Amino acid sequence: MTIMRRATSGVVLFLAIASVVQSTVRQEAPVPDKLIVFTFDDSAKSHATYVAPRLKTLGFGGTFFITEGFDFPTNKTGYMTWEEIAGLHKMGFEIGNHTAKHANAARQTREALTADLELVERRCLEHGMPTPVSFAYPGNDIGGIVVECVEGEGLSVCSARRRSGVPL
């Protein structure tokens, strides 16, 4: 649990049980028994500087859900650069889509949500990565036109953290 305590220092750590690894989505391998999936969202700098290297040392994989929300464009001490995100991909980690703006996806218009999803896809391609196949709901608010838009963008795995009293 040391990795979890250190990773959460000053960043949001998102562990989703509803996620499935990319190889499973593409049916390259069956889902193993007792699978644990580590997912991290919000593009925190510590994902590249501490979490990913530590996971790699321990032999674990993970999915990093990327957003350009918050002050991502200007705060490079708190958030990764796209080069660092590409570095995570090169290390073998999955890069997932967490939308460009980190807005409440369930309350966005179809056009706004599609644009948010496509911006992350474009950035991945610009930096030599495939477009994501996994999506994490920003703010975990499920509903609206999210599923339809996500499927329309070719994203096939969605994850959300269950909030107390909110059914999935």
Q: What is the DSSP letter of 44?
A: B
pLDDT > 50? residue 145: yes
Task: Give me the phi and psi of 121, to 5 degrees please.
Answer: -60, -45
Contact 155, 133 (CB under 8 A): yes
DSSP 74-105: T-TTTB--HHHHHHHHHTT-EEEE--SS---G
Task: Give me the phi and psi of 95, to 5 degrees please.
Answer: -105, 120
Q: pLDDT tens for residues 96-135? A: 999 999 999 888 999 999 999 999 999 999 999 999 999 9
pLDDT > 90? residue 147: no
* Percent of residues in the chain assigned helix, strand, coil, to nearest 5: 40, 10, 50
pLDDT > 50? residue 87: yes
| More confident: 57 or 29 | 57
Q: What is the pLDDT of residue 2?
A: 35
Q: What is the pLDDT of residue 21?
A: 36
Q: What is the pLDDT of residue 33?
A: 85
Contact 19, 159 (CB under 8 A): yes
Q: What is the pLDDT of residue 15?
A: 33
Q: What is the pLDDT of residue 75?
A: 97
| More confident: 147 or 19 | 147
pLDDT, the chain, mean = 81
Q: What is the pLDDT of residue 12?
A: 33
Angle, CA of 21, 45 and 22, to the nearest 5°: 10
Contact 158, 117 (CB under 8 A): no
